[in-house]
Amino acid sequence: MIKLEAINKTYQVGGSPLRALCDVSLQIEPGEYLSVMGPSGSGKSTLLNMIGLLDRPDSGRYWFDQVATEELNEERRAHLRGENIGFIFQSFHLINRLTAFENVELPMMLAGQPVKQRRSAVTDVMAMVGLSDRASHKPNQLSGGQLQRVAIARAIVMRPRLLLADEPTGNLDSHSGGEVIDVIEKLNQDGITLITVTHDQQLGDRARRHIRMVDGMIDSDHNAHIKGSNIKSSQTKISDIKSVDIDSADTEDKKSDDATI
């Protein structure tokens, strides 16, 4: 679904170059659940923005569903993004003067979809995130967890196949964070590809594949089998999530395979 090859991104800061991504290569299959962890400034958000077609690399290649994205103009990139990719950010990014319903409806309006279709899709996703009774509330009338669930509803209203979450629980208490995780993991169980950037080790551990970034490079990339049943529990609090039973010996990580052979 996603293939990055030798992606580089350098920012100019005060006249000197800062390499945010160095030769990053990565392949992601449909339905995967990845977490991206690593120190502040290691390039996690830059990588996510690259995958989300919000940013362009200086060099390297990126195929999304076999489409070479670097060859697309901005309009076609925006189309590919709108049809396939949903985003969730730490700070929700909702529009304060619109109701929850209108915020969720926005991507469909921008895509020019008819009102009847919009009404039905928004009603469906509001129910999926458990907020049917909050549709007419404005953002300032909602709690943090509810705001993030509105943002999730907005991210999925166009039925994307890839969901990118940058610190989705960063501004939430553990109970609200648990609700948000329940919703996005349920979407992954239903088939959406999920990439979560987080500083929260317990959240990161819940993914089936763990990527660690250091200094703009992928430092490790491990697949893990989650045997614990708590991944399916509803209303899980982050603080309730003890270490899940991870068998990291069974890994498809090329680097570590090479290292051990």
Ligand X SMILES: Nc1ncnc2c1ncn2[C@@H]1O[C@H](COP(=O)(O)OP(=O)(O)OP(=O)(O)O)[C@@H](O)[C@H]1O
CB of 169 to Mg ion, least distance (A): 14
Closest contact distance (angstroms) between CB of 247 and ligand X is 28
45 binds Mg ion (CB under 5 A): yes
Q: Does 188 bind Mg ion (CB under 5 A)?
A: no
Determine the interface stretch with Mg ion among 44-52, 55-63, 72-80, 98-106 (rule: CB under 5 A).
Answer: 44-52
**140 lies in the site for ligand X, by CB under 6 A:** no
18 binds ligand X (CB under 6 A): yes
Q: Which tokens in the block code for residue 97?
A: 């003067």
Amino acid at site 253: D
Q: Using CB under 6 A, which of the segments 10-18, 81-89, 140-148, 240-248 binds ligand X?
A: 10-18
Give the C-alpha distances (Å, rounded to integers) separating 216 from 23, 26, 118: 8, 13, 40
Count of residues near ligand X by CB under 6 A: 12
CA torsion angle for 220, 223, 225, 231 (degrees, to 10)?
A: 80
CA distance 150 to 152: 5
Mask for 41-70, x = binds ligand X (CB under 6 A):
xxxxxx------------------------
What does 139 bind: Mg ion, ligand X, none (CB cut-off 5 to 8 Å by kind)?
none
Neighbours of 204 (CB within 10 A): 19
- H-type helices in the chain, by residue range? 44-51, 74-84, 100-110, 115-128, 144-156, 174-189, 201-206, 254-260
Sheet containing 16-28, strands listed edge to edge, beginning at the edge strand earlier in sequence: 16-28, 2-13, 59-64, 67-68
Task: Looking at residues 25 to 44 of the shown chain, list those that interact with ligand X (rule: CB under 6 A).
Answer: 38, 40-44
* Positions that interact with ligand X (CB under 6 A): 11, 13, 18, 20, 38, 40-46
The residues that touch Mg ion, with contacts defined as CB under 5 A, are 45
